[in-house]
Structure 1
Amino acid sequence: MPALVVLTLVLAVVMAATMVVMARELLRNIRKLNGAVQATNERLTPLTEELQSELAVTSLEVDGLSAQVERLQAERQVRARQRQVRNLGRNRPRGRRRSRRRR
């Protein structure tokens, strides 16, 4: 029985040591990962700022183009109405027309 107790204690010590080693490795890898994330953030920050400025310019361009499209559509509708009014005036029945040709 004392051998079983000794083996249990040895196993507990080995398990504790393994957990300590794993915890140290985990902390080391977490620190490495944090460093890599910070380096990546430092490299991506200028790109993010550039993309945000490009987005602002593009949104202004889109707003301008949308306004221009709306203006053009309004002009097109006005011209279509004017054509309809002209066509209505031409298509009125004016009675029977005689041909200019003599028979």
Structure 2
Amino acid sequence: MNGEFLVRYTDAAREDLIRLFDFLLVRAKTREDFDAAQRTIDTLATGIESHLSRTPFIFRKASDSPFLRELVIPCGGAGYVALYEIEGAETVNILALRHQREDDYH
């Protein structure tokens, strides 16, 4: 695999991505707002792929396990957090995505 990890999304993480996009769309009033929502989701997906396909072990641990970690992706004045699990030597599974300002973010 050329030293790169395959990044996969669980069904729950895909639902989170849709939920985050829907939240941004509800707030959109203009075409520019819609474009900004799409750029935000694109930034999130690109950040996940570019960082986790190469260096998944350098981001903060989410538990005592060295394989469960979080990636913070800055966006505007806040950011998003991707919870992921490293599976073997070739795969990273995205488990959940949250905005840092969501109630259940800790």
Question: How high is the TM-score relative to the length of structure 2?
Answer: 0.24
The structure in which a higher percent of residues are strand is 2
Of Structure 1 and Structure 2, which has the larger fraction of its residues in helix? Answer: 1
* Length-normalised TM-score, structure 1: 0.25
Question: Relative contact order (C-alpha < 8 Å, sep 6+): which is higher?
Answer: 2
